[in-house]
């Protein structure tokens, strides 16, 4: 590309007048699955998304914040497909890039609640006890 410059997220080639390369622009501009809360349209925080993508970029692809696995960008049905996860549910200003399976598991939990739940599950799976207090979830909305 003539007179191209580097994308501030992935370092890929972008047009000098564009903010991002086509790949990163498509991800940043993607609408979330839940766009309405009541009658108010919830707009994604593009700056928070940019920061999350930049942090997730490993030089070749995006990695999951929680598991560090390489994410899939071209198959939304894959459990490793990238998503934006709200570290605190419904807080657009604090998002991370996560595998869709992990994002679905975390759902209405804060990052701290999710980690505590996973630790208790691992303890139980190894024959230990399970602390029921982890079920006291602040943002559970179902």
Domain with 81, as residue range(s), is 33-107
Q: Is 56 domain-assigned?
A: yes
Q: Is the dihedral of CA 102, 23, 34, 36 positive or negative?
A: positive
State pTM to two decimals. 0.85
Q: Is 140 domain-assigned?
A: no
Q: Is 42 domain-assigned?
A: yes
Q: Is 5 domain-assigned?
A: no
Q: Is 15 domain-assigned?
A: no
Q: Is 12 domain-assigned?
A: no
Strand partners for 80: none
Number of domains into which the chain is organized = 1
Query: Averaged in consecutive runs of 10 residues, what is the pLDDT profile of the chain (142 residues)?
Result: 81 91 90 57 86 96 97 95 92 94 94 97 96 93 78
The SS3 of residue 64 is coil
Q: Following DSSP, what letter does each residue of 73-101 receive, concatenated?
A: SS-TTSTTBEEEEESSTT-TTSEEEEEHH
Q: Strands, E, within 43-93: which ranges?
A: 82-86
Q: Is 74 domain-assigned?
A: yes
């Amino acid at each position: 590309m003539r007179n191209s410059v580097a994308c501030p997220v992935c370092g890929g080639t972008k047009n000098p007048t564009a903010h991002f390369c086509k790949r990163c622009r498509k991800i940043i501009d993607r609408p979330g699955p839940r766009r309405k809360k009541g009658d108010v349209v919830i707009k994604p925080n593009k700056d928070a998304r940019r920061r999350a993508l930049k942090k997730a970029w490993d030089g070749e692809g995006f990695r999951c914040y929680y598991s560090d696995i390489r994410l899939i960008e071209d198959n939304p049905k894959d459990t490793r497909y990238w998503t934006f996860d709200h570290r605190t549910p419904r807080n657009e200003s604090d998002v991370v890039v996560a595998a869709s399976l992990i994002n679905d598991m975390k759902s209405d939990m804060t990052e701290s609640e999710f980690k505590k739940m996973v630790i208790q599950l691992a303890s139980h799976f190894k024959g230990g006890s399970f602390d029921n207090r982890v079920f006291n979830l602040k943002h559970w909305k179902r």
